[in-house]
Amino acid sequence: MALFIVFEGGEGCGKSTQARALHRHLLQEGQQAILTREPGGTGLGERVRRHLKRPGGMPISPLAELFLIEAARAQLVNEVISPALQAGQAVICDRYTPSTLAYQGYGRGLDLETIRGANGTATGGLSPDLIVLLDIPVEAGLGRKKGRAGDRFESESLAFHRRVRRGYLEMARADPERWLIVDGRRPRQAIRGTIRERVSALRAPGPGA
């Protein structure tokens, strides 16, 4: 199966820019690759996204939020990610299951085991080959979004965003084989290089492979 790469991080970390850059790079190298995002990437997912991000919309409880995200995810895996991987296309996804552990688990306080179970059910156990974490201090990330009204997540408290960041770092440090932690404050070009190196290493058969 082709490579499945996920970009993660808190608000304003620069992951979407880097996900797009890696997608362009793979295409330029002549590889077949698609870029998608969560929540989103399908008709259903994009609708869920609008509801979840809209500030001042209808109330959504943490558990309802979890199931909306998982519903969008189940559709994305079924409609987009699995078919692409099976067709030999690399898949780059802007957020995936770790976002739910970070935001709904560490951030909102839902039980991590419940979330792991829901993630596993929604994805059928499909997990990425590489998760790139763009790590940036919370104030710096939110500061990049200044000048426009914050969405439902961006408007959460600093304490919420700090819990999200801590969650990401805990997950990434516990599984360095699968996670790459990149300092999101480094120049864009340098970040791009670090990510490309790790992706090339994944594509090259290792010693004894």
Return the residue of 8, 99, 172, 180 that touches ligand TMP, per CB under 6 A: 99
Interaction mask 111-150, ligand TMP, x per CB under 6 A: ----------------------------------------
Q: Is there binding between residue 38 and ligand TMP (CB under 6 A)?
A: yes
Residue from the set 34, 100, 138, 142 that interacts with ligand TMP by CB under 6 A: 100
Which tokens hold the place of 109? 């306080």
Say whether residue 18 binds ligand TMP (CB under 6 A).
no
For residue 75, state whether it binds ligand TMP (rule: CB under 6 A): no
The first and second tokens of residue 3, run together, are 């490579």
| Beta carbons of 98 and 13 less than 8 angstroms apart | no
Residue type, 118: A
Q: How far apart are CA 8 and CA 48, in angstroms?
A: 19
Among 95, 161, 165, 192, binds ligand TMP (CB under 6 A): 95
Instruction: Using CA atoms of 143, 144, 149, 155 in order, give the dihedral in degrees to the nearest 10.
Output: -50
Residue 135 CB, shortest distance to ligand TMP, in Å, is 14
* 39 binds ligand TMP per the rule CB under 6 A: yes
Task: Supply the DSSP symbol for 190.
Answer: H
| Paired tokens of 56 | 């001042």
Asked whether the beta carbons of 22 and 199 are under 8 A apart, the reply is: yes
Size of site (CB under 6 A) for ligand TMP: 11
Q: Give CA–CA dist 124/121, Å, rounded.
A: 5
**Sole binder of ligand TMP in the list 103, 106, 168, 179 (CB under 6 A):** 103
Which parts of this chain interact with ligand TMP (CB under 6 A)? 37-39, 52, 69, 95, 99-100, 103-104, 153
